[in-house]
Structure 1
Amino acid sequence: MDILESDKRYRKKTLATVWNVVPKLLPFLKTSCIYFVLWLPLNEPSWYSALIKCLPILGLCFFIGAHAASLRHLTPYARMVFLGLLFSALGDVCLIWPACFLHGMVMFGLAHLFYTFAFGLRPFNLRLFVLLALLSGAFYTVLFPYLQEPFVYMVGGYAALIGTMSWRALARVRLSSYHRSWARISAALGAVVFMVSDCTLAVDKFCFPVPHSRLLIMSTYYAGQLLIALSVLETSDDFLWKMK
């Protein structure tokens, strides 16, 4: 009976959290709609296009700030995710101009580092590390014949960073119901969807045109960032780099 009562209280708390979250997500939801409705042409880069593209990510920054304000505390985990979002927004700005593509890769690489710091090293999960290392290596092997310097090194380093970020996000999801957390699952799904976005972008840019690539890339990108941002709703100390 105690377990059932605890489960009911948990569900009520989760429902209350959802109702509190929706208003804070309105800037993200509205600016995402604006991006897809305007659908500004890629062959006309401008600061206006850059603003429209990065506004949804800044909306997620607002979401984290509003959540922290309601708690009167910004957790270390939320701080790392917030910084990851900021560098993602900078990456969005850089990618508007083809000449700044490498700069955009650097910004997103830093974003993945901050996400990795947020997710921490607990639990380590060596098997998952080996699996994702093999998958990242296989994908890089497919891209390698199409790459020219400096992308040979940059894409390899970026693949390692996003693979590491995804490993840490997925490793935090426990199989037992006691340890399972919807926030950890949200972060893990966000990392996977983010990786799908980046893989699609890489294939479309370096290998061959992907049908409806922009729609696929941007929809998965915003969805992935949203899922990662939502994970701050659960207080966590897993950002600490401990092995146990």
Structure 2
Amino acid sequence: MLTFSGKKFSVVYSLIVIAELITGSSESLMSWHYIFKPAIVISLLIFFLLKCKTLNKKLRLIIASALLFSLAGDILLMFVNQSPNYFLFGLVAFLLAHVMYVIAFLKHRNKNLNPLGFIAFLIIYAAGLFYLLKDGLNDMLIPVIIYMLVILSMSTSAFLRKGNVPKMSYTLVFLGALFFMMSDSILALNKFYEPLAFSNISIMLTYALAQYLIIIGILKLDQASR
């Protein structure tokens, strides 16, 4: 269950996300998009820093770094129409965010858990996605392959927390990792395969939900330690 402050934040966060979905889909409101899109991660970062006091200091730093890299990626991807380099830089920023999450999740790895079944599922999923993307990747082939490997590693590391953290923390973080993978998949299909209807809404909605679930899930460790 969320604390009272968690519920209040969830309402504020939902309003920010809704505002971004509206402004990001309207040419006339696009100037507000440049405020509300970064506000999603900024609000999460502020909430996390206010609520993570009893978490391990290194874990706090790693999670904060993941959010900062995510923020950098969000900002860079807002300017992809000005130069294709912004997409590559944004990709690198999110890759680093995923690496930070991998490091954070592996701190609570259940060494007795066998991930081979889950990894097999991820490989099948990634192979199917790559089959659709490969003809449109061109110069982005290697960067996208590297990115796919990192986000699959992030999902696997989230899975490996099972049985070694409180159930709610595991479930929220694991679902967040899956939503992150879903968001990136939609983005990749929209950019390298074919334009998808309402892609801006589906990408941002799954992304915002992913980040929210991961951060709330990590904060459940803080609550469990009290």
TM category (shorter chain) comes to: 0.7 to 0.9
How far apart are the structure 1 equivalents of 2:153 and 2:8?
A: 33
How far apart are the structure 2 equivalents of 1:232 and 1:49?
A: 28
Q: Does 1:53 align with 2:37?
A: yes
How far apart are the structure 2 equivalents of 1:88 and 1:108?
A: 5
Q: Does 1:153 align with 2:137?
A: no
Q: Does the residue aligned with 2:196 lie in a helix, a strand or coil?
A: coil
Task: Assess if the C-alpha contact under 8 Å between 1:91 and 1:108 holds in 2.
Answer: yes
Task: Tell me what 1:205 maps to.
Answer: 191
Superposed CA RMSD: 2.6
Q: For structure 2, list consecutive stretches of 5 or more residues without a partner in the other structure.
A: none
How far apart are the structure 2 equivalents of 1:112 and 1:97?
A: 21
Q: Does 1:165 align with 2:154?
A: yes
How far apart are the structure 2 equivalents of 1:74 and 1:20?
A: 21
- Select the residue among 3, 13, 16 that pairs with 1:31: 16
TM-score, length-normalised on structure 1? 0.78
**Higher CA-based Rg:** 1
Q: Which residue type is aligned with residue 145 of structure 1?
A: D
Q: Does the residue aligned with 2:187 lie in a helix, a strand or coil?
A: helix
Q: Does the residue aligned with 1:235 lie in a helix, a strand or coil?
A: helix
How far apart are the structure 2 equivalents of 1:172 and 1:235?
A: 12
How far apart are the structure 1 equivalents of 2:6 and 2:185?
A: 30
Q: Does 1:131 align with 2:121?
A: yes
Deviation at 1:172, TM superposition (A): 1.8
Q: Does 1:140 align with 2:130?
A: yes
Deviation at 1:43, TM superposition (A): 11
Task: Assess if the C-alpha contact under 8 Å between 1:140 and 1:159 holds in 2.
Answer: no
Task: Assess if the C-alpha contact under 8 Å between 1:75 and 1:235 holds in 2.
Answer: no
Q: Does the residue aligned with 2:52 lie in a helix, a strand or coil?
A: helix
Q: Does 1:217 align with 2:203?
A: yes
Relative distance call for 1:74 and 1:38 in structure 2 (3 A) is farther
Relative distance call for 1:74 and 1:137 in structure 2 (3 A) is same
Task: Assess if the C-alpha contact under 8 Å between 2:136 and 2:193 holds in 1.
Answer: yes
Q: Which residue type is aligned with residue 63 of structure 2?
A: V
Q: Percent identity?
A: 26
TM-score, length-normalised on structure 2? 0.83
Task: Assess if the C-alpha contact under 8 Å between 2:180 and 2:211 holds in 1.
Answer: yes
For residues 89-128 of structure 1, the C-alpha deviation after alignment (integer angstroms, 9 at most, x for no partner) is: 1101110111211100000000000010011072353412
How far apart are the structure 2 equivalents of 1:26 and 1:82?
A: 22
Q: How many residues align?
A: 214
Task: Tell me what 2:49 maps to.
Answer: 65
Q: Which residue type is aligned with residue 52 of structure 1?
A: F
Q: Which residue type is aligned with residue 78 of structure 1?
A: R
